[in-house]
Structure 1
Amino acid sequence: MSLLEVRGLEVTYAGGAAAVRGVDLSLDAGEKLGIAGESGCGKSTLALALLRLLPPGARTGGEILLDGEDVLTMKWGRLRAVRWAGASIVFQGAMHSLNAVHRVGDQIAEPVLLHRRATQAAARKRAGELLEQVGLPASRASAYPHELSGGQRQRVMIAMALACDPRLIVADEPTTALDVMIQAQILRLIEGLVGEQNVGLIMISHDLAVLADTCDRLAVMYAGRVVEEGPARQVHDDARHPYGRALSEAFPTIGDPASRFAPRGLPGDPPDPAAVPSGCAFHPRCPVALDVCATEDQALRAAGARRRAACVHVGSGDDETPRGAEGSGTSGGAAANDGVRSSTP
């Protein structure tokens, strides 16, 4: 049995905005799954849904099975027990997630006191051990959040997530606003801790390169759905879906002046969740869209070994998307040279 099974997850906010639409994912213990996509694609909503942290008024459907138990149907007492001890989350923006008027050691010790019913002395000792585990001296437990750097605060958030030895960690943009050196340190730290403790990791980011370097598998989301999934490095280097290709090409290649001075992006924005286009939701921005893309939705299908993509150009069981799909028959997508190569992967 997988550590985590997400089956047909639906999340709709008040007003009818469908932020997550029929997502299926699985994760084994010790595995690292990356979830990528632009802002507004449903990544953070998915992360919050995994621990039932959505705001009041949000409606959910489907199943979220954590060690076989459905998080969406758990009683409140059981859900409180699962949070921290079964699964924990590292939010983006540590300064806003930490309590500014409490010392960081007390904040790390709080879940230990609650879930392990430890004594104050044992909880403080555990907090010091966790700080050392994430590369900070135990003496920093007496510091307030404003006395720490951004990278140090993020390490405190990771220490809190590890406090009760969870089986699953969800990291939502854990390196946002950090400089590249600290970002690399935090990513290596998370990667090492996952390997040492055999926990499952879901890491959310808009940066495919970061996820390709850190994760085993990668899922690309668009308009609330997974449009591509497979081994992380393969999805980054050779995406089967035009949107995945656009994401990977949005970042300049080091040592390539052409990509530096003429970065490739993707015009437009993801659709409003309350007004998702008919057919394939990506077709208004797709440079290789066909007429059928505007009327027929595309389900995930085999796109090579252990890979799936939701694109009309991916035939069931095919190893590659057929080339030369651009040209006549397009349905109003962006120009072929804007953000995605003129031929599909």
Structure 2
Amino acid sequence: MTQPGRAPEARPDKAPTAQLLDIRNLTVTYRTGGGPLPAVRGVDLSLAAGQKLGLAGESGCGKSTLAASVLRLLPPGTTTTGEILLGGEDVLTMGWSRLRAVRWAGASIVFQGAMHSLNPVRRIAHQIAEPILLHDKVSETLAHERVAVLLEQVGLAAARASAYPHELSGGQRQRVMIAMALACSPNLIVADEPTTALDVMVQAQILRLIGDLVAAQGISLLMISHDLAVLAQTCDRLAVMYAGRIVEDGPAHQVFTDGRHPYTRALAAAFPRIGDPSSRRAPHGLPGDPPDPTALPTGCAFRPRCPLAIETCAHVDPALSVAGPGRAAACVHVTSVPTGGER
């Protein structure tokens, strides 16, 4: 999306791999009592077949809106423009019958908070079997055999199939959500902060499980989180989102350890380094709050919180520019932000 003071965006250089998901100039605007609320503003993002892409940013930056857009799960009254190409087909222009076929079988979503996503009055087996029966058109016997295999894949005993959601722990419920996402062998899984409500040990187990399963089955993964460290460990690529736009994109470990955008560097610095007492006693926070989407500052949206802001930033809303091999950042300092080396 080209705006006054903006040049056309440049995507990071990528190898000529097939793009399973290609989001082009996506804008999402909610209708509210106070007027239009722009949640996603001109996002370009792609995901290659078999690749794991992380999407990071603070609460309210548009991550979950972007995730819901992939399968058109946004509430009524939302205005969406641009293109979301899934396997070459535009999700935004699909008819309902085609969209129903694509959901679960083409792409599936693991939501945060499994207790709110699972039906509390239906047994686990019935909930996992439902998409299999709907999309694969198999007998109930074969569907429930598949359920047993899926539960084993996510580390749950087949006997848990008869349980109700409230009889499972938080980690077990999240494993059920992963089994449901895998039920129809999709090409893409969108994981929207799947470990938010879990303790650190269970979180690590779930993340390892997701990573192992998508790698073993060749599934593409779009993992959404506010935790850069989690995404750096789990994903191949990492995109950072701020105020509805992508501000950095590149190889996950490089983005985490050597961010080219000041916002990325601030997020990475907020994580204490294990074994470094100074970082534990004096953590580096990010001052201020994300901007109100209905009243964004002129120029760069990050300017009021940026330690490197200059006068140009008040007038120019920078587009993504090449910031190294396979990397891009939206900052006027993209060629001069000092590198921090390995963390």
**Structure 1: segments with no counterpart, 5+ residues:** 316-320, 325-340
Deviations 1:266-307 (A, max 9, x none): 111111111111111000110100101011110000111111
Distance apart, 1:256 and its partner CA: 1.0
Residue 289 (1) aligns with residue 306 (2)? no
Aligned twin of 2:290: 270
Q: Counterparts of 1:261 and 1:99 in 2: how far apart (Å)?
A: 44
Distance in 1, matches of 2:163 and 2:338, equals: 58
Change in CA separation of 1:250 and 1:132 when aligned onto 2, cut-off 3 Å? same
State the Cα distance separating 1:7 from its structure 2 match. 0.4
Whether 1:54 and 2:71 are equivalent positions in the alignment is no
Aligned with residue 166 of structure 2, among 140, 146, 166: 146
1:322 Cα deviation from its structure 2 partner: 4.5
Partner of 2:8: none
The residue aligned with 1:228 is 248
Please tell me whether residue 309 in structure 1 is matched to residue 309 in structure 2: no
- SS of 2:210's equivalent in the other structure is helix
CA distance in 2, matches of 1:102, 1:323: 55
Q: What amino acid sits opposite 2:288 in the alignment?
A: G
Give the distance between the partners of 1:23 and 1:314, measured in 2 at CA.
19
Moved more, 188-197 or 33-42: 188-197
- How many Å apart are 1:323 and its aligned residue? 4.4
- Which residue matches 1:116? 136
Number of matched pairs:
320
In structure 2, give the amino acid aligned to 1:22.
G
1:11 to 4, 28, 32: 28
Match of 1:243 in 2: 263
Correspondence for 1:2: 19
Q: Secondary structure at the match of 2:103?
A: helix
For residue 65 of structure 1, give the secondary structure of its aligned residue in structure 2: strand
Measured in 2, the distance between the counterparts of 1:142 and 1:165 equals: 23
Partner SS, residue 95 of structure 1: helix
Distance in 1 of aligned mates of 2:220 and 2:131 = 20
Whole-angstrom CA distance in 1 between matches of 2:211 and 2:338? 36
Give the aligned partner of residue 333 of structure 1. none
- Pick the aligned partner of 1:135 from 155, 159, 162: 155
Q: Which residue number corresponds to residue 185 of structure 2?
A: 165
2:88 is the alignment partner of 1:71: no
Q: Which amino acid aligns with 1:259?
A: S
Distance 1:322 1:16 in 2: 35
Q: Describe the superposition over 1:28-82 as per-residue Cα deviations: whole angstroms up to 9, x where unpaired.
A: 1110000000001000000000010000111001000001000000000100000
Name the counterpart of 2:218.
198
Q: Higher relative CO (CA 8 A, sep ≥ 6), structure 1 or 2?
A: 2
SS in 2 for 1:45: helix
Structure 1 distance, partners of 2:198, 2:258, is 28
Could you list the per-position Cα deviations for residues 2-36 of structure 1 after superposition, in whole angstroms to 9, with x for gaps in the alignment?
11100000000002111000111111111000000
Alpha-carbon distance in 1 for matches of 2:124, 2:239: 34
Q: Could you tell me the TM-score, scaled by structure 1's length?
A: 0.91
Aligned position for 1:331: none
Render the CA deviation track for 1:140-193: whole Å, top value 9, x for unaligned: 000001111111000000000000000000000011111111111111111111
CA distance in 2, matches of 1:138, 1:275: 52
1:254: how far off?
Answer: 1.0
Q: Distance in 1 between matches of 2:305 and 2:294?
A: 18
Residues 68-110 of structure 1: CA deviation (Å, up to 9, x unaligned): 0000000001000000000000000011111111111110000
Structure 1: how far apart are the matches of 2:138 and 2:150?
15
Aligned residues of 2:53 and 2:238 also touching (Cα < 8 A): yes
Between the aligned partners of 1:136 and 1:25, the Cα distance in structure 2 is: 35
**Secondary structure of 2:240's aligned partner:** strand
Structure 1's consecutive aligned runs of 4 or more residues displaced over 2 angstroms after TM superposition are 321-324
CA RMSD of aligned residues (A): 1.1
Q: Point out the more displaced range, 252-261 or 139-148.
A: 252-261
C-alpha displacement at 1:123, in angstroms?
Answer: 1.2
2:195 to 146, 158, 175: 175
SS at match of 1:3: strand
The answer to whether the Cα contact below 8 Å between 2:239 and 2:246 also exists between their aligned partners in 1 is: yes
The answer on 1:252 being equivalent to 2:289 is: no
- Once residues 125 and 258 of structure 2 are traced to their aligned partners in structure 1, the CA distance between those partners, rounded to angstroms, is 44
- State the distance in 2 between where 1:250 and 1:49 align: 29
1-side partners of 2:264 and 2:306: how far apart?
A: 11
Q: Whole-Å Cα distance in 1 between the matches of residues 58 and 151 of structure 2?
A: 33
CA distance in structure 2 between the aligned counterparts of 1:264 and 1:234, rounded to whole angstroms: 20
